[in-house]
Chains A and B, each alone.
Chain A
Amino acid sequence: MSLLRKTLTEIGLVAASLGIGLAIGAVIAKGFSAPPLMVLADMLTSWRLLPDMVAEYAAILTLTALAFAIPLHAGLFNIGAEGSLYLGALLSLWVAVNTGNLVLALLAGALAGAALSGVAGVLRVALGVNEVLSTIMLNWTVYWVMLYYIVTRLADPVFPQRTVEVPESARIPWIEVGGIGIPATLLISIVIAAAVWVFLRMTRPGLLLRAVGANEEAARMRGVPVGAYRLLSMLLAGLLAGLGGALHITGFSYSIDVLGGTVRNYGFNGIGVALVGRNDPLGVAAAALLLSTLMAGSQAVEPVYGVPKEAADLMVGVIIVVLSAPAALRIASRILPKLGLPRRGG
């Protein structure tokens, strides 16, 4: 199969899964007695109503998706971006409040995320603990620890429903694009995605990291320290997810609510973004823009049509399930043209 053909097949698979996800969205809209096509149209053009939210979601999801994609290149399933993001946001807020310094706040968040992810990495490499299990356990542990600090040390005496806010001096400024204000976090994330692309494709450690994931035994035979590269992948993942939490708190939300809703689900949805972006850093950035449009869209349609924003979570979940079954998608891509539908790739 030629490279072009392969690329087109990949695009076809992703398009098919997105199509099924959108169909689910239409069914949900129908279930809440809203006009399905208008709901979908509004969801997919949410940047008109909520440009700042689309940009912010895309920024954070790019980082959490990279936190899934990098370990997967080394052969690991990292479900821990969720917890690293919580811890990153928490530490970043604490440092921002106490020092008023943005750089220190970002650094604290990134390092906290890396430390947590590093625990799962060491457990896997040294003791053989499955990283899916360890990262889920760490996510829940950090969730409760975060809530503890939200209602104790960081509680706002005036607004009991949230923490104190990041002081002005430690906030990331917004930028203006075509007269529309968006958080600068998006620019930072795109630069990071490009850097990760260069790292994975053009540097020696990046190539060796991918060699470990492509064929563990072959890499080991050639003397590649497999464990060290797996640990590196987890540290990088935690660093990016932790930074995601830090960027979100210093660039957009400025505080965390007492239920942690401000920071929830970015990690899990990042997995969907990584899969739609086929684990390629630039594909991830594009997929992040697409799925963030969908997620902001679900918030935009909620007040208008009464379709709950959780619709987006269900749609992303279904997209992932569909993407998990390559044989099913290949069958679908063979059948679709026969039904007289436009041929997408393949």
Chain B
Amino acid sequence: MDAYDAAVVGLISLSAMVPIALTALGEVLAERSGVVNIGLEGILLITAWVGVYAALETGSAWAGYAAGLAVGSLLGLLHALIAVYLKGDQIIAGIGLNLAAAGGTALATLAAWGNYGQSPPVEVNVPSIVVLDQRISFMVFVTVALAFGLWVLLEKTRIGLIVKAVGDDPRAADALGIRVERVRLAATVAGGALAGLAGAYLSVDYLGSFVKLMSAGRGFIALADVAFSGWHPLGALLGALVFGLSDAVARYYTIIKGVTAASYLFNTIPYLVTLAAVAVTAKRAVMPRSLGKPYVRE
């Protein structure tokens, strides 16, 4: 890999960072309020599909983004209803959503485009700049801005204090008159919305079509990133860049250097890097104290 190729890999990592960072930022917010969403993978997959469908129907990638945002919010709402109001098992609900998403998008792909594998290509008409023949979407900049915005929200505002109070000690927050359920609902819906943006980015911006199971574990990589970041928005951005880099290295060898059987082995890099990152940081991770526990008023 010479200097030019290294620069190209660096640019690809920025693009590969976006879906993981957006999903992880939303999940940082949701988990700070006490709700875990294992179903992010399913939200990514469903909104990737919805994004392409909307973009193909209207001819505009913006419609794809809008649809992704809307459906992501709705799925966040569904998870919030189960986790917050029905006191359901958050992990199992997420597992179910992921399975339903895999089956549902395959069915929908067949119904809409007549084949099992993928959609027709979408015209990628969003603002972007081109550096060294690599297209950098405006979403790279939006993502970085959102990370700083979320950091300010969580660490410097009253809203942030409330979210964290609800995630750490819902009983005390309740005693102070904070509506625990509503805060958790709002944070989880916002988390779903960001995952929806990430899903739409994957299909209408990054890859330009819907491909079966295209989320490829990114929802789980984002969950790993949240733990890796210590539930900190800027840490999550940095983590996403590291995972984006490992994704870019895999893509460099498979796509730029030509596909061979060995490329299958390069595809394992992002998953192994994620596993290693979580293994190294798990011991000192300090998670929100009421994470994953439904709040039942006594």
Contact = CB atoms under 8 A, between A and B. Distances in A.
B111 A32 contact: yes
Given A275-B92, A313-B106, A130 B275 contact: no
A321 B82 contact: yes
B131 interface: no
B92 A137 contact: no
Contacts of B100: 313-314, 316-318, 320-321
Contacts of B38: 132
Which of the four size classes fits the interface of chain A? 35 or more
Interface stretch (B83-91, B155-163, B199-207): B83-91
A133 B107 contact: no
A314 B282 contact: no
Interface in A280-309: 308
Contacts, number: 158
11 contacts: A133-B274, A137-B220, A138-B271, A140-B268, A141-B272, A271-B95, A308-B110, A313-B106, A316-B100, A324-B95, A326-B89
B107 A311 contact: yes
A327 B181 CA distance: 15
Q: Which 6 A-B pairs have CB atoms at the shortest separation, nearest pair first?
A: A313-B103, A317-B100, A320-B96, A317-B99, A325-B88, A314-B103
A32 B279 CA distance: 46
Interface stretch (A95-103, A142-150, A334-342): A142-150
Interface string A66-89: 000000000001010000000000
Contacts of A141: 268, 271-272, 275
Nearest to A79: B95
Nearest to B88: A325
Contacts of A315: 103
Contact of A308 (B89, B106, B265, B285): B106
A123 B274 CA distance: 13
B102 A317 contact: yes
A20 to B, nearest CB: 11
B95 to A, nearest CB: 6
